[in-house]
A and B are shown apart, each in its own frame.
Chain A
Amino acid sequence: MAAVQWHSRVRRYAAEKQSCALEVVPVEMGDYHPLKFFTVSRAQPHIDPYVTDSKSRRGARKGSTSSTSSSSSSSVAPDPLSCMMDGTDPLSMFAAASASEPSLALSHSVSTGELGRGKRKEEDEVALDFEPWSSKRGEILARFTTTEKLSINLFMGSDKGKAPGPGSSAVSEKVRTRLEELDDLEEGSQRELLNLSQQDYVKRIEELNQSLKEAWASDQKVKALKIVIQCSKLLSDTDVIQFYPSKFVLITDILDTFGRLVYDRIWSMCSDPHPLPETFTADEVNDTAKETCLNWFFKIASIRELISRLYVEIALLKCNCFLTKCGIQETLPRLTAMIRGIGDPLVAVYARAYLCRIGMEVAPHLKDSLNQNFFDLLGTFRQIHGDSVQNQLVLQRVEIPVYLTLYSPAIHWILQCVSYRAPEPLLTEMMERCKSLGNNALLLNSVIWAFRAEFIATRATDFIGMIKDCDETGFPKHLLFGSLGRSLACADPPEAERLPILNEAWKVITKVRNPQDYVNCAEIWVEFTCRHFTKREVNTVLSDIIKHMTPDRAFEDAYPQLQSVIRKILTYFHDFSVLFSMERFLPFMDMFQKDSVRVEVCRSIMEVFIKHQHEPTRDPVILNALLHVCKTMHDSVNALTLDDERRSLALLINGFIRMVSFGRDFEQQLSFCVEARATFCNLEPVLVQLIHTVNHLAMETRRVMMGNHSRKTAAFVRACAAYSFITAPSLTSIFCRLNLYLLSGQVALANQCLSQADAFLKAAVSLLPEVPRSISIEGKLRSSEGFLLEFINNFLSTLLVAPDHPEAGVLYLVRGLLNMVQDYTWDDSSDAKVHLYISAIPLLAAMSQETYLYCIPKVDSNETLYGGDPKFLSEINKLCETLIGQVLDHLKILGRDECVRRQSSLAFSLFSCLLAHGDLGTNKLNQLVVNLWNLSHKHGYCDTQTSVRTLEFVKHLARQPNMPHISDMVQRLTLQSRT
């Protein structure tokens, strides 16, 4: 096809806008509007930096001076969506409610208990506020460990003669052989296992649990019972006494399994015609089930050893309900009394704990035996200091304080059961009873631990007195103060007593020699201090901790506790100026010398900062401290750091950078950014954030100067541009760089820094060839074409206002861009290049107008520079003609290559472009347009609907004045029917 002669259509933007604008309908207050919800919650602006930038960019293009950037105060939370949804989303509210519930249950809070009592008349049920055994279990297993060798003594066959079948001659031959068979079965496992490590021991016990289940499943009930008896017998053995609590936990697990198995089996025997209801009476149980149950009880009653008999009977306590209505009620006191027969106080107290536990599970309303258990415990308390215990301790080389702590879990548990929803007078009575015993530190500790925190808190001063009166040699005092501190952290003592309490407590704590003991205790009391006192007291506490933990680098073993101290302080002190004005806070931080811990601590500080700092700050104390904190986080990044980790660290640092504002002191802000860039050079998202911050700073300066830069501010904004220009190249993501160049170029233009803008745009253009064909997005390789098209289109619209460089040729940026497009190695199967050519035509058309669609205040665009010089116009026209020629060539190639579908759509694009922007008054162009229309419809690939609507538009154009040529053209545009 011969070259066409291009003339841009003359546009009158203002008139066009008026004729095209929709009627404006005001929205009344009460009217429904789909966007209304969001506009309301955005009243307080949480603006993401990107939003800000896009606004200012649009503002720059449209030429509105200041209104847009004024609303861009810095954002509060890193994620604007999350704060938008806060509380209004039913799902998240539900989640929040359920999340808060367990925490209430854990801190032995009475308020939920009161609530529950109101709702539920019956106290039969143990509510959620009762801390279950399962949560204690793990704690005990973790705490009571040993490195000594253990042994399991299993003589499965040992009670051959004494077992339920003593008489031999009478037992029928068959029964006897069966019994012998069973004994034989056990022969393999009936030996003493010596020298087991703790792990082996635990494994063995687990094996026993397994073999119990297997025996049960294979109907070997006698074997199952034997396993259980032998296991419970292990509990009478107090060798390796430090391990006893854990042993108790392991073995009671087996007993629980056994109890459940027996109960379920008897239950299933009853379900023959129809299953038993949830709450049944003994009358509903059939005879066979009763007989089986009775058999179990007779069998257990003949177990020789007291401890085995007790434990197995407790395990089967629940089965009593099959026999009689008040079976449990009668059995509990008897079992309670039977425990008196256990001489070893440690064994006895754990047996009591087990009885209380099962009692609570099976019959929580029977409180009397719980209380009786506690009173019996008090009665036998002197046993702990008896000769036989002392001899044993000497033999095992265990210190008294260590020995006493072994009691804690059991006594805690018993007291927890006793005090659960117990009336105040009962608690007072219990306390008095404890007080009356000599050396009651152990009991006192459990009382403080298990009783309601409110109860303890109101009597805190009394308790301190009691603790002081305790014997120093027995139970370590710091543990007592630890327990007290734990209670006081949950409930508040009377206002007036708080300071004396802290003073008294700290007086003791500070004297604790062992750093580990000290920090355990101090950590607990930090919470109380933070809760009720000011930074002065907290500072004192911190300095005391530092003093204790620094010698011999004791802090190295106490990172978890020290971390917890920081966490507690952060929960109570949200004002960072107060926090960092504590002299000892940063020295305290210095104790975290292990990198991973240090970063963790920094991270938690930053999280709290981002969450609670609502106002931008310039406080030098905060800035210095946080810069230090962030630097620590940044410095932890190395080649091995995971991407996610980098991302989250960068997010935290960005949150900090966004919160820094020096108000009108822009220069200081810039120098802060310079410093930050040097500090955080390894985290790209932080650099991106910094560039955005600096761009924002430039726009802010412009706003303050109302668009008229003074000499000083002009220099400043140029400095900003220089900052961005220097920073951007160090980013690895190419699109990130491109977008930042463009954005910074726009900002520079808006600030009348023409040569800087030029440089930015030129840099972007020269970067284009480096764009790879495919980039990795979320781990997948994707074609970069879409991104590139988007960017170039965006870039083109900026080029309209970018004035030509006086020393370079006419339209050198446009030409440069088009050259890059031409030289870029595009994917052969795509028409991206041609599409770009087509999209350059509207730009050129817009450039040839007398007044441009948009301009930047104080910047002379080409319209004024050239003033509609015909030479300039002909230059543009020539360029357009070349472009159209290129497109037409490509269309021809497509026709040859049988890519008619692509050809059709491309032809249609060009048609639309020419229709919109070309001056169709000239014959040649007119003819070309008609040809393109026909070409696009030639093979029937055109979307009919689009064609119809386009045709309507053309007809509409034809009705306009001064458009006679169009009406001619309409005649020649025909719709192609499908048939």
Chain B
Amino acid sequence: MSASLDIRLKRANKVYHEGEVLAGVVVIVSKDTVQHQGISLTMEGLVNLQLSSKSVGVFEAFYNSVKPIQLITSNIEVVKPGKVPGGKTEIPFEFPLHTKGNKVLYDTYHGVFVNIQYTLRCDMKRSLLAKDLSKTCEFMVHCQPQKSKLQPTPVDFNITPETLQNARERSFLPKFLIRGHLDVTNCVISQPLTGELVVQSSDVAIKSIELQLVRVETCGCAEGYARDATEIQNIQIAEGDVCHSLPIPIYMVFPRLFTCPTLETTNFKIEFEVNVVIVFHDDHLITENFPLKLCRV
């Protein structure tokens, strides 16, 4: 029982697009001959939706209706029942990535309430005495680039005590003026978010300035929906009492897997926002929110 099963994809980065061919080899390594009842490969693309625990009570009614959405599935038998000789055996395979009907292959996305995942599973069935062998491997899908040309949409912002929306005691607020801009808000996912921020003046020392990347996931259908915003990552761009009126670069790389082009379907939505968070020395927080539209070109 020293047989091992592995799947190796041809592309090192494991990224495929719709219409391309997913190619690779199944690798079987064993000391002696392996008797088996057939080896099969299953390729599957699924969207998993989950409701946040806090909304479960409200939407109990359609809780059951949230079931995985299958985007693509395909199954082939690689080897008929028989024997695999000892040593290392490589069996090449190919899957064309074609969807049925009008379904689209969404980008791979790992979120909290929405997960879009593509897997390739290899099963080796064996006789009753030996355990079946199985190996799963995930591959990424990037959707086809959008055709339309992107118009850059720069955003300027000014943050002052006056611009704050939910400040309770406006009179207690220290004076500050923070200017800045984001170069684009409809971002290309493979390129970093860039911009600049200038602390023009501030009565209170600044402790930290951060960029918070947030995903907004909406699950639902006609009956209602659940919308939840959660943090993906928090990147500090300034630490300590930064020099006033000196532009500080805003720069953030969109993490792979945890971001995807902004997606809107009948059952779910995936959107992204970025918060510019300014933390003062007394731990007061000021947040400025910018919705982003991510896309692939």
Please give the residue numbers on chain A whose beta carbons come within 8 Å of chain B beta carbons, in ascending order.
162, 164, 166-172, 236, 286-288, 290-291, 294, 297-298, 301-307, 309, 334, 337-338, 340-344, 347, 379-380, 382-383, 386-388
Contact = CB atoms under 8 A, between A and B. Distances in A.
Interface in B80-117: 110-112, 115, 117
A244 B253 CA distance: 31
A344 B240 contact: yes
A657 to B, nearest CB: 69
A287 B246 CA distance: 40
Contacts of B246: 340, 379-380
Given A301-B255, A309-B235, A387-B241, 14 more contacts: A162-B233, A164-B255, A167-B111, A170-B112, A287-B11, A304-B235, A334-B251, A337-B247, A337-B249, A341-B237, A343-B238, A379-B243, A380-B246, A383-B241
Contact of A343 (B11, B243, B249): B243
The 4 closest A-B pairs by CB, nearest first: A343-B240, A170-B110, A341-B238, A301-B253
Contacts of A309: 235-236
B242 interface: yes
A288 B12 CA distance: 5
B13 A287 contact: yes
A58 B188 CA distance: 102
A341 B233 contact: no
A287 B110 contact: no
Interface in B254-282: 255-256, 258
Nearest to B256: A298
B216 interface: no
A306 B110 contact: no
- Most chain A CB within a 10 A radius of its CB, from B235, B236, B240, B241: B240
B233 A302 contact: yes
Given A172-B138, A306-B239, A379-B243, A341 B112 contact: no
A78 B243 CA distance: 66
Contacts of A288: 12
Given A287-B13, A341-B238, A382-B243, A387 B115 contact: no
A171 B255 contact: no
Interface in B23-82: 50
Given A170-B115, A298-B255, A304 B234 contact: yes
B209 interface: yes
Contacts of A291: 12-13
A334 B253 contact: no
B141 to A, nearest CB: 15
Nearest to B255: A302
28 contacts: A166-B232, A166-B233, A167-B110, A167-B258, A171-B110, A286-B12, A298-B255, A301-B255, A305-B236, A305-B239, A306-B237, A306-B239, A334-B249, A337-B248, A340-B243, A340-B249, A341-B209, A342-B242, A343-B240, A343-B243, A344-B239, A347-B240, A379-B243, A379-B246, A380-B246, A387-B205, A387-B241, A388-B205
Nearest to B12: A287
Nearest to B238: A341
B236 A304 contact: yes
Interface of B: 11-13, 50, 110-112, 115, 117, 136, 138, 192, 205-206, 209, 231-243, 246-249, 251-253, 255-256, 258
Contacts of A387: 205, 241
A386 B240 CA distance: 12
Contacts of A166: 231-233, 258
A388 B258 contact: no
Contacts of B232: 166
A648 B11 CA distance: 74
B272 to A, nearest CB: 14
Nearest to B11: A287
Nearest to A338: B249
Given A162-B233, A166-B232, A167-B258, A340 B112 contact: no
B117 to A, nearest CB: 7
Contacts of B241: 343-344, 383, 386-388
Nearest to A336: B249
Contacts of B235: 301-304, 309
B268 to A, nearest CB: 14
Contact of A306 (B236, B255, B258): B236
Nearest to A306: B236
B114 to A, nearest CB: 9
A307 to B, nearest CB: 6
- Most chain B CB within a 10 A radius of its CB, from A162, A302, A379, A382: A302
B249 A341 contact: yes
A342 B233 contact: no
Contacts of A170: 110-112, 115, 117
Contacts of B231: 166
A162 B12 CA distance: 27
B179 to A, nearest CB: 15
A229 to B, nearest CB: 13
A774 to B, nearest CB: 76
A291 B13 CA distance: 6
Nearest to B240: A343
A446 B209 CA distance: 32
Contacts of B50: 169
Contacts of A164: 255
Given A291-B13, A298-B256, A304-B234, A341 B242 contact: yes
B120 to A, nearest CB: 13
A342 B251 contact: no
A416 B281 CA distance: 36
A74 to B, nearest CB: 72
B240 A298 contact: no
- Most chain A CB within a 10 A radius of its CB, from B111, B234, B239: B239
B117 A343 contact: no
A301 B237 CA distance: 12
Nearest to A171: B110
Given A167-B112, A302-B255, A343 B233 contact: no
Nearest to B207: A343
B242 A340 contact: yes
A169 B116 CA distance: 12
Contacts of B11: 287
Contacts of B117: 170
A225 to B, nearest CB: 15
Contacts of B112: 167-170
Nearest to B109: A170
A343 B258 contact: no
Given A171-B110, A288-B12, A291-B12, A383 B243 contact: yes
A308 B240 CA distance: 14
A386 B50 CA distance: 51
- Most chain B CB within a 10 A radius of its CB, from A307, A340, A387: A340
B100 to A, nearest CB: 25
A171 B138 CA distance: 11
A128 B242 CA distance: 38
A292 B144 CA distance: 24
A25 B150 CA distance: 105
Nearest to B10: A287
B240 A342 contact: yes
Nearest to B205: A388
Contacts of A162: 233-234
A170 B114 CA distance: 9
Given A162-B234, A171-B110, A342 B239 contact: yes
Contacts of B192: 301
Nearest to A307: B239
A304 B252 CA distance: 11
Nearest to B50: A169
- Most chain A CB within a 10 A radius of its CB, from B231, B247, B252, B258: B258
Contacts of A340: 238, 242-243, 246-249
B243 A306 contact: no
Contacts of A380: 243, 246
B248 A341 contact: yes
A899 B252 CA distance: 101
Nearest to A389: B241
B239 A236 contact: yes
